[in-house]
Copies of this chain bind each other. A is one copy, B any other.
Amino acid sequence: MNKHDADKRDLFAIADLAKEFGISTRAIRFYETKGLLKPDRVGSTRVFRRRDRARLILILRGKRLGFSLRDISEYLSLYDTDNSRTAQVQLLIEKVDERLGLLRSQLTDLETTIAELSEIRALADERIGPATDIDKAS
């Protein structure tokens, strides 16, 4: 909808991405030093393209999930790997499976936690009085 729709553009300044994702430019530069991003350069100035923007999105999601940058780096390489030419597809499969295992156990943890909290919430809710038709009508 937006004239500047980020998904359609192909070139981004470091500040563009920082603003778009609410992080600091320092952080972005840091990710680069860690090899998670590899923006092009024009002179010394970084120029980001869709590919790096996509990677950034994955990085941030990984962070929300509590993974370290090192973890995320490995994880990104799964996306990178040229599945069709890899000599070690088997190795790729193993890595993906390993990560899937981790994620699935996290999923279980999360579901348990959500269930527990929901119960607490229900109890508290009861205490304050369940919503009545009258309440809803107010």
Contacts and interface: CB of A to CB of B under 8 A. Distances in A.
Interface of A: 61-62, 64-67, 78-79, 83-84, 86, 89-90, 92-93, 96-97, 99-100, 103-107, 109-114, 116-118, 120-121, 123-125, 127-128
Most buried by B among A64, A78, A110: A110
Contacts of A127: 83-84, 86, 89
Contacts of A103: 110, 113-114, 117
Contacts of A107: 107, 110-111, 114
Given A65-B113, A92-B120, A96-B124, 5 more contacts: A66-B66, A66-B67, A83-B124, A89-B127, A100-B118
B110 A65 contact: yes
Contact of A83 (B67, B90, B120): B120
Main secondary structure of the interface of A (DSSP, over half): helix
Given A83-B124, A89-B124, A124-B83, A96 B112 contact: no
A75 to B, nearest CB: 8
Contacts of A113: 61-62, 65, 103
Contacts of A124: 83, 86, 89, 92-93, 96
6 contacts: A65-B113, A79-B120, A83-B124, A96-B117, A107-B114, A110-B110
